[in-house]
Structure 1
């Protein structure tokens, strides 16, 4: 057999043409009349699209009626925008509820609400108080309403349980108003034992940082919280809690307190006189207040004591250390230990940044190595006991951040830790009856709560 005969087709040419025509006809039929499986898939897809157009599920899994959802016919076939992508002005609803995410700014929040790019500048320029609106935080919810032109009409946000802010467009620009909710006040009791520090113990007892500072300030005349605190010391307090919608929204005044230090118990009760002045007194009506508080820095430790013979850490010479050093973190607030007049606020040789306060004729205090001075602290200004006058630093001849504190009586340096401090006046006779009426129920409340807790612990 020749090669040409081996390569020749087995069927006539007319048969091959007929088979090709039949195949083309079958393909066309399948395109025009799809199978039942294809039809089923199309039907399911149609149902899914209709369902998504009529229902919307919010973050709490609540189903919203179709009337509250804005859709268009072609939106169902378009891919949905990402959650963090700003909507266009045409797509965005007039009212937007935006939760601030980490890294958000007010500008990016406005973009998510489809507000014009220059809206933030217009808002800040039209109202001086609007600048504080830029301090947003993650989790904060901001409600924004746009007008028919797509511009900012109003904005509202709750800053805390006690405070909210409202922005409204006016003819002259924008109005910014803060609304303070008035909470209800209730009395609460707390008790704690110190095993490391007062701050840790008060936090464990559920007290705020403010109440911890109040506790230290109240007993600061009798107890040096940098030196005298011991493991096993105890405290108990009756204080005010602010409540909004049944939830605690903050703490108020410390009404009564007991502190047991080294086995000795001190008691303090808050009393407000007829003129509205509040002071803490002992249970017998004598004043807790002295002319000076013991410690000018809260929760610091003593790194060097008063002595007439100490080797200076910088000069490496034996010289008197006429004060007490309190080691603390840079920037820790420094308080005036008594009322007085500033006679120096500036540089003073090796002391660095220094404040010197004259208290009447006999007493003078000095605060050295400050990082900087508090606002309003200058030569000739008056200060009150407990007022912040500066911040811990390491200026001058200093090897580390600390406060150097000196105490002088009639021009002579004395040890502020051992100096007997002058007392303030006791409660006035006319106020004594009112004081006892206020103090006795508070002290009884502490006794009752303490007894109940001890009985509970014995079970």
Structure 2
């Protein structure tokens, strides 16, 4: 306190000296230049100049002196008392709904951590979690989930609010050990839209700009067109895409986008198309306009990031040293590299088998089987289980007769070994009968939407030429071209 008082007095004395100096300077300058008789033009100029200087000194000096603040003897920092705005009467009286605090869940953050951060007692959280539905929602929080807390001045939680699903908001009001639940209906609107754009410098950037989600983009590159388009080398800036999705909106905010319902990709003037459709009792798949599955029956290489180390045919066995028929192909890869099922199948065998070491045999139907040998360990599969193409069935190893970690892969047709690299893979089963008729009606509507939008956006571009697989039995007439104005049209 003593140091603070000394600093205040020094500041006052400094201001007084500056004021005296300013007044003295002004009086002396003006006195020296006062005329004894009638003022000339020079006298008026000098008087104006001194007046301007006086105003500037009067303005700058106080600000400069105020900038020199007394230093605290404790940490060398200046302190300044500020008056805080007074609380509203509603906040002072604790009116419900006046003190909402919004929290977005961070990655790895738990409900307990959020309560601790807001200084809400753990006992209050346990009271809320006694509600089974609330416990199911609040104990599995995803990053980005929004929680709202009504916290009055007293600091006691009044209400917790969260969204159970896009259509329902839950408010849990707390009064002691009693929790009251209120369900609020929230109106949503779902619209079918066509999102279109050109590849430009980056397909990912252009697709996101058009409105596609990361999952939609992955569907284009990994599910629909990966067998027909090499996205690393085939694309040009003027190649274009159009995608049909369903968007769900709530109170003017886009809250979700469906999987891709239909898509076209024009590459070098050729049109590729894919449509999402589910066979009766089956999962949704993507088909060409002609009704053939886009997913091939078999993957040629059921292992990522591998090098072909041994081909199919006669060779000298690396362990036995004798000439023997190599009934498959070998892919060299590091131990632990995942191995995928080459096609949809039923697990026929999974375990140890002589020189194959740990091995899995898959039955794909119609007499086709595949074998995967020398695994370090098996995947989460069991005999008799039906699995989808791409399912991880095991991991690369060197069990059995092997000189190093690799995958031994065999392809058999009715028990006869075939070269996996050259065998003609059986085509997937196309749609037929009533399924095909229903599918054609669906694709006709989807194509009509896409072509209407593309004729508006790309009016000056020549129409794409469908590939053989993209020519449906019934062609859809394109809408007349209109001037290009927008990049998305709502259906």
TM-score (norm 2): 0.55
Distance 1:140 1:290, change over 3 A: closer
Q: Which residue of 2 aligns with 1:428?
A: 432
Q: Which residue of 2 aligns with 1:416?
A: 420
Q: Which residue of 2 aligns with 1:240?
A: 245
Distance 1:321 1:411, change over 3 A: closer
SS at match of 1:254: coil
Asked if structure 1 preserves the Cα contact closer than 8 Å seen for 2:197 and 2:241, the reply is yes
Summarize deviations over 1:191-237 as a string: whole Å, max 9, x none: 56599xxxx845652344433453433456x55x8xx6661246734
Summarize deviations over 1:299-344 as a string: whole Å, max 9, x none: x4553274336899999999847136497996768345123x2122
Asked if structure 2 preserves the Cα contact closer than 8 Å seen for 1:282 and 1:288, the reply is yes
CA deviation after TM superposition for structure 1 residue 440, in Å = 2.6
CA deviation after TM superposition for structure 1 residue 378, in Å = 0.6
Q: Which residue of 2 aligns with 1:269?
A: 275
Superposition pairs for residues 5-84 of structure 1, below 5 Å? Answer: 49=83, 52-54=84-86, 66-70=88-92
Superposition pairs for residues 30-179 of structure 1, below 5 Å? Answer: 49=83, 52-54=84-86, 66-70=88-92, 96-100=101-105, 105-120=110-125, 127=132, 130=135, 133-134=138-139, 136=141, 140-145=145-150, 154-158=159-163
CA deviation after TM superposition for structure 1 residue 364, in Å = 0.7
Superposition pairs for residues 372-451 of structure 1, below 5 Å? Answer: 375=380, 377-383=381-387, 385-386=388-389, 388-390=391-393, 394=397, 396=399, 405-447=409-451, 449-450=453-454
Q: Which residue of 1 aligns with 2:361?
A: 356
SS at match of 2:92: coil
CA deviation after TM superposition for structure 1 residue 442, in Å = 2.7
Distance 1:372 1:145, change over 3 A: farther
Structure 2 residue 188 is the aligned partner of structure 1 residue 186: no
Q: Which residue of 1 aligns with 2:223?
A: 217
Q: For residues 214 and 101 of structure 1, what CA distance do their matches in structure 2 show? A: 27
Q: Which residue of 2 aligns with 1:16?
A: none
Asked if structure 2 preserves the Cα contact closer than 8 Å seen for 1:237 and 1:255, the reply is no
CA deviation after TM superposition for structure 1 residue 163, in Å = 8.2
CA deviation after TM superposition for structure 1 residue 357, in Å = 1.2
SS at match of 1:365: strand
Distance 1:283 1:116, change over 3 A: closer
**In angstroms, what is the RMSD of aligned CA positions?**
5.6
Unaligned 5+ runs, structure 2:
1-14, 16-80, 463-483, 485-491
Distance 1:366 1:212, change over 3 A: farther
Q: Which residue of 2 aligns with 1:79?
A: none
Asked if structure 1 preserves the Cα contact closer than 8 Å seen for 2:288 and 2:294, the reply is no
Q: For residues 129 and 119 of structure 2, what CA distance do their matches in structure 1 show? A: 18
Distance 1:263 1:454, change over 3 A: closer
Distance 1:69 1:125, change over 3 A: closer
SS at match of 2:116: helix
Q: For residues 301 and 427 of structure 1, what CA distance do their matches in structure 2 show? A: 34
Q: Which residue of 1 aligns with 2:34?
A: none
Tell which has more relative contact order, 1 or 2 (C-alpha 8 A, sep 6+): 2
SS at match of 1:70: helix
Summarize deviations over 1:398-436 as a string: whole Å, max 9, x none: 967x86643221223323343323334443334544433
Q: For residues 256 and 316 of structure 1, what CA distance do their matches in structure 2 show? A: 55
CA deviation after TM superposition for structure 1 residue 366, in Å = 2.9
Superposition pairs for residues 316-355 of structure 1, below 5 Å? Answer: 320=326, 322-323=328-329, 325=331, 334-335=340-341, 337-339=343-345, 341-347=346-352, 354-355=359-360
CA deviation after TM superposition for structure 1 residue 184, in Å = 1.1
SS at match of 1:435: helix
SS at match of 1:156: strand
Distance 1:69 1:449, change over 3 A: same
Asked if structure 2 preserves the Cα contact closer than 8 Å seen for 1:297 and 1:332, the reply is no
Q: 2:263 aligns with which of 248, 253, 257?
A: 257
Unaligned 5+ runs, structure 1:
1-36, 38-46, 56-65, 73-92
